Homo-oligomer: A and B are copies of this chain.
Amino acid sequence: MTEMLQSGATIGILGGGQLGRMLALAAHKLGLKVHIFCPDPNSPAFEVTPHKTVADYLDFAALEKFANNVDLVTYEFENVPAETAEAILKFNKPLAPGAKALATAQDRLVEKTFIQSAGVSVAPFANVESQTNLEQAIETIGLPAVLKTRRFGYDGKGQLFLRKPEDIPNAFKELGEQPCVLEGFVSFDREISVIIARSASGEVAAYDPAENVHQNAILHTSTVPANISDNVAQQAVAAAEKIAKALDYVGVMGVEFFVTDQSDHLVVNEIAPRVHNSGHWTEAACVISQFEQHIRAIANWPLGATDRHSDVVMTNLLGEDIERTVKSLPAHMMVHHYGKYEVRAGRKLGHINQISPKKS
């Protein structure tokens, strides 16, 4: 799509979680309508629009009807089945980000191979389809290393940390004998991420890198500015830009990096072809949030300014935290509650953004 989406058009969103919900709110701010497609009848995004489809992602009759009711389709998660993406295109609706981004981000082997081919560093890696493969890979890559399933991993799930030789014999079995990649362990100082947008007409805009801290393999805080040199920040943005261009990407993408101990060297950890948890800070510290930026990018409208008016710390709210936090509000704190009413320990239910005047 190279034309601009018309005002009053309807954005179709595959996925009804908090990211879909926040995308829908941003689309509404731009006067657009939203149709949410999600198999879970309790999806929080269903509460913010009158247009919804509750159906499986492989229900092609439902997908056809959905496609006929929208002008453009996007998604909130990278595990949209390839068949679903194909169906949307078959029903003549644009899909953004495109099928290439989806296929690349769904498989860690494809992803790492692609990033490397785009001229951006990743940790040493090897394909592992058997225990024998794993043992061979360890010979090249060494220990410690991380074995990860190629597909469907998130928040630390589908990963095994291999520290010593005794960890090796059962590893492939433990991950269910699924296709995996072995990644060399990167000794890093910090984790950062870049939220970058690229529009259908090729305009690119990146937000400042955020510094991310995880707890129990779940993102805990994102802090901006990150404690990195200008040089590293520029490198990170340039790498994200390379990847976005090489993917012919349309929309907002999150790129996670390790900043290694060795003289500020950067290594890409993974990419997410969607708005990203580590970009939630943009909602409070920028005029245009990552959610609105995504809608602008896929609608092929001019991108918004990405610079910050404030410094900011974003903190995820998990499980029980949410109730206490929403109802107490220290100064300069913005709370976003995702409208998930089933509270479970460790479930992402909201986030807070605390801003402060820019120091630099």
Contact = CB atoms under 8 A, between A and B. Distances in A.
Given A30-B335, A33-B339, A52-B50, A302 B287 contact: no
B337 A29 contact: yes
A96 interface: no
A309 B338 CA distance: 25
A49 B32 CA distance: 13
A7 B341 contact: yes
Interface in A266-296: 284, 287-288, 296
Q: Which of A47, A288, A355, A357 has the most CB of B within 10 A?
A: A47
B288 A302 contact: no
B284 A284 contact: no
A296 B357 CA distance: 24
A82 to B, nearest CB: 30
Q: What is the interface residue range for chain A against chain B?
A: 35 or more
Given A49-B48, A303-B329, A304-B329, A287 B31 contact: no
A353 B338 CA distance: 26
A215 interface: no
A301 B302 CA distance: 37
A224 to B, nearest CB: 14
A47 B49 contact: yes
Contacts of A246: none
A310 B8 CA distance: 31
B326 A31 contact: yes
A331 interface: yes
Nearest to A6: B323
A6 to B, nearest CB: 9
A238 interface: no
Contacts of A338: 31
Nearest to A30: B337
A17 to B, nearest CB: 14
A110 interface: no
A31 B309 contact: no
Interface in A26-75: 28-33, 46-50, 52
A299 to B, nearest CB: 9
Nearest to A338: B31
A229 interface: no
A360 interface: no
Nearest to A303: B329
A85 to B, nearest CB: 27
Q: Which 9 residue pairs of A and B lie closest in terms of their CB atoms, listed nearest first? A: A31-B337, A31-B339, A305-B331, A302-B329, A8-B341, A287-B334, A50-B50, A305-B332, A28-B48
18 contacts: A7-B326, A7-B337, A7-B341, A25-B25, A28-B339, A30-B335, A31-B322, A32-B337, A32-B339, A46-B50, A48-B48, A49-B50, A50-B52, A288-B334, A301-B327, A302-B327, A305-B329, A309-B355
Interface of A: 4, 7-8, 21, 25, 28-33, 46-50, 52, 284, 287-288, 296, 301-305, 307, 309-310, 322-323, 326-329, 331-341, 350, 353, 355, 357
